[in-house]
Amino acid sequence: MKHLVYIFSVFSLLSCAQIESPTGGPKDEQPSKIVKATPGIGETNFEGTELKVVFDEYIVLGNMAQEAIVSPPMAEEPSYKVNNKALKITFPENLLPNTTYTINLGNGVKDFHEGIALDSNVLVFSTGNYIDSLSFSGVVKNAFSLSPQESILVLLFENSDDSIPSKERPYYYTKTNKEGQFKFNFLKNGNFTLFVLKDNNNDRLYNLPNERIGFIDNAIFTSKVDSSYSVLLFEPDNKKQYLVSLKAEDQGKLVLILNKPAETIDLNILGKTFKKSWFESDTLLVGDTVSIWTDFSRLEDTETEIVVSADEVVLDTVKIKLKAFDTAKPKLPTITPNVNNGNAKYFDALILSTDIPIKSWKDSILFIQNSTDSMFVSVSKVGSKKLKIIYTLEQDSKYSLVLPDSFLTDVLGFKSKGTKIDFKTKSDIEYANLKLNVELDATENVILQFMTKSGAIIRQDLFSGNKSFNYQNLSPGEYQFKLIFDSNNDGVWTTGKYIPRTQPERVIFYSEKLEMKEGWDKDITWLIPE
């Protein structure tokens, strides 16, 4: 019988985890290599119960439970033992007949001195008379951001049942690399169902409420030549609302986190009687994270129980220790204008933001322009933590805003200190203008987001068909466009569902670099594919 050794390196799955090297010589940066495999590694008609692999230097094992991937999987994982330069792999059960097995060691085997993962990390053998040789590849991306997803399990099932990832371990599986890429080799001919999974408990099952999942709509045909797939990873929105955490931060501040946004939130302190106004959220829109400001000075106890309700459903009762006020050194409210590096945009309203919700404020303050003209200007509240200065700024001017002591009082009763805010405005020639022409054949509504390079949304529009948009007075920098196909017409991006299998709403980005410079006027056309 001819013995063939199959030892392969998987693309980009190797990484270096360096540890401190001993002194007295150059660092060995070369990975360990396999020099011998016995008995029968890579052979056909394999009947043994263990493999032995010898390397060219001393080796150590990492977390093989997380690193090693055996396909098809076994009910009980193989055992891995190291003796100097040799690795012994023992199978705890009888192997399937006429089956090609692969053992991907990942980064689990490293050289003893430098901790560098081995050079070749996939071992292949067959219990039949040939090695399966089919393959396909793909990439896993975040469904909303389209960013590549690393260390995501890619699962292949022979069963096409929708719920199969929750019931059975896959026939084949692998992991994505840093670029979100994956590749299957040595596959048998057949049809498979593909799922991807962010496996938080490392059991290769979709069974935790915070695990993310994705799938291919149609069956995978391993006999298809040059096949490649793009898979979207998402967190399904089919879970019950629950409280993630409730904790006290700073004086009078509670931070509440839910697993998903709620329309309304209600807190009830057991054994205490308060009006509904006893707390105030720091945002007008309640999301999955909410800051709540309370006057703890009205509480007799420092430790109490709080009942948390969302959308009129009681979620949990939490016992927390509240942080009492330090009356000697109270945390006073800070005031921050929408000024960047001393520059304000003359075409935007001047907004003063605070770190604590506002209870009261002075109606007018002193405003100085170009060091000569002074006047009192009106102030109005435009949010729980925002004040608007009623004044139209001019181009290429210098301003000073004088805020007296006790200009505002926060909901906790503390007053701000006096301050002077100096800033200037630029001329219109220091900004850029952009026109976007969208050509869209689809009839469904889409959401267009204009964002900074970092992803902060500047403007959002909902429309259908062809349309043009003007973006004026842009600061120099890089920007991006994102388009969401709003299939259910609810005005927001909607995630997918695990059962029934429903893909998240489609997202695409404008592919070209969008850089704007001073004085530029740019006109671009975006042809949206179907």
3-state secondary structure 413-440: CCECCCEEEEEEECCHHHCEEEEEEEEE
In this structure, are residues 123 and 41 in contact, taking their beta carbons and an 8 Å threshold?
yes
Q: How many CA atoms lie within 13 A of 379 on its CB side?
A: 22
Collect all residues with Cβ–Cβ distance below 8 Å to 131 and sequence separation of at least 6: 4, 6, 44, 100, 124, 125, 186
H-only helix segments in 73-231:
164-167
pLDDT value of residue 263: 81
Burial class (CB in 10 A: 0-12, 13-18, 19+), 484: buried
In this structure, are residues 192 and 219 in contact, taking their beta carbons and an 8 Å threshold?
yes
* 3-state secondary structure (DSSP) of residue 277: helix
pLDDT value of residue 39: 62
In this structure, are residues 289 and 256 in contact, taking their beta carbons and an 8 Å threshold?
yes
In this structure, are residues 341 and 476 in contact, taking their beta carbons and an 8 Å threshold?
no
d(CA 263, CA 279): 16
* HEC profile of 14-46: CCECCCCCCCCCCCCCCCCCEEEEECCCCCCCC
- Phi first, then psi, for residue 277 (nearest 5°) are -85, 10
Where in the sequence of the chain do the CATH 2.60.40.3710 domains occur?
6-126
CATH number for region 243-321: 2.60.40
Report residue 7's pLDDT band, with 50, 70 and 90 as the boundaries: very low
pLDDT value of residue 282: 55
In this structure, are residues 127 and 97 in contact, taking their beta carbons and an 8 Å threshold?
yes
* Opening angle at CA 176, ends 502 and 29, nearest 5: 170
Paired tokens of 285:
């829109």
pLDDT value of residue 15: 32
Which CATH class for the 134-233 domain?
A: mainly beta
pLDDT value of residue 13: 33
pLDDT value of residue 28: 54
CB atoms under 10 Å from CB of 315, counted, come to 22
Q: Which fold has domain 6-126?
A: Immunoglobulin-like (2.60.40)
pLDDT value of residue 21: 39
Residue with tokens 């909902």: 462
pLDDT value of residue 34: 82
d(CA 513, CA 243): 41
pLDDT value of residue 297: 60
Percent of the chain with pLDDT over 70: 86
Mean pLDDT of the chain: 85
Which CATH class for the 335-426 domain?
A: mainly beta
* 3-state secondary structure (DSSP) of residue 402: strand
CATH number for region 430-528: 2.60.40.10
Backbone angle region of 40, left / alpha / beta, with phi > 0 → left and psi within -120 to 50 → alpha: left
Report residue 324's pLDDT band, with 50, 70 and 90 as the boundaries: low
Mean pLDDT of 177-201: 94
Residue 386 confidence (pLDDT) above 90: yes
Q: Is the dihedral of CA 81, 86, 90, 95 positive or negative?
A: positive
pLDDT digits 0-9 by tens, 202-249 = 888 998 878 999 999 988 988 887 778 999 999 987 668 888 888 887
pTM (two decimals): 0.78
pLDDT digits 0-9 by tens, 411-459 = 888 899 999 999 999 999 999 999 999 998 777 899 999 999 999 999 9
Residue 119 confidence (pLDDT) above 60: no
pLDDT value of residue 18: 34
The rounded Cα 2 to chain-centroid distance in angstroms is 50
Mean pLDDT of 71-75: 86
d(CA 182, CA 136): 9
Residue type, 314: V
d(CA 465, CA 269): 52
d(CA 520, CA 478): 13
CB atoms under 10 Å from CB of 238, counted, come to 12
